[in-house]
Copies of this chain bind each other. A is one copy, B any other.
């Protein structure tokens, strides 16, 4: 009877909802702006509306839905379904989102951190399909991470495991939003690679006519080795090296089968992945790189909802 799963991936900019079958295929999906500034109540109402619209578009009744998986930003208590103070959403201190949504939707709800949901999605239906252990890095404005061991997200004692973005790479390095210095996020995120580019431009007294974005940097790098192109290649290589050091460290510690990288920064292609892989091979122990795969994510915008649906399937029996 209950052959469908509703899923959501709530981001600072957009909300995505989807209807999936138990095999993890996305049958229908919707994407609407989060409008986070309108506050908590408005966001929850919007999410409920999107769930109902997704069902309607899919021609599926709520009675055919097994449950709802929700990927949500920031730290949370996945067991109790409580969201703590996500950095990109204001007014969300200790919200019992699972209970709230269960009352609204009358279906079991399972929460998962958004980076963990993306990791679980890629593990289940994406680049990590068929592997035993996976570490996912999401290279966007920040660097998110998720660790999947033996098919399950490793949450840790307080539910915050997977925070690879805040690995210290440089003792007295760049300030990071978390309050620490020298975090991977300050070097390997889009903000990080842009900051490195700005440093190089200042040092070489070059002022590009365009805004410095990851897209522009990719374009400059592909255009050639000299001038702006050479600097872009160098800045991207630096980000690749930082990511490579962090991945080597995680490879030595967890020895996963695969690293899956997603997010806008991965569009920098081999300018990023080349130095990244070289650094991993140089630094990680031989056994840790034996057969190790480092690949781009394949599910794109569907990773979060797919993983949230998987989290529902894995955990709904216990909740």
Q: Does A161 contact B (CB under 8 A)?
A: yes
Contact indicator A158/B291 (Cβ below 8 Å) = yes
Q: Hey, which chain B residues are within 8 Å of A162, CB to CB?
A: 253
Q: Does A254 contact B (CB under 8 A)?
A: yes
Q: Does A257 contact B (CB under 8 A)?
A: yes
Interface readout for A119-159 with B: 1 if CB under 8 Å, 0 if not? 00000000000001100000000000101010000111111
Q: Does A203 contact B (CB under 8 A)?
A: no
Nearest residue (CB) in B for A289 is B158
Nearest residue (CB) in B for A292 is B157
Q: Does A209 contact B (CB under 8 A)?
A: no
Given A158-B290, A288-B158, A291-B157, does the pair A253, B147 have CB atoms closer than 8 Å? yes
Contact indicator A160/B249 (Cβ below 8 Å) = no
Contact indicator B249/A159 (Cβ below 8 Å) = no
Query: Can you offer 18 A-B residue contacts whose CB atoms are under 8 A?
Result: A75-B285, A147-B254, A149-B149, A156-B254, A157-B257, A157-B291, A157-B292, A158-B288, A158-B291, A160-B285, A160-B287, A161-B254, A163-B288, A167-B249, A168-B249, A169-B171, A170-B171, A249-B249
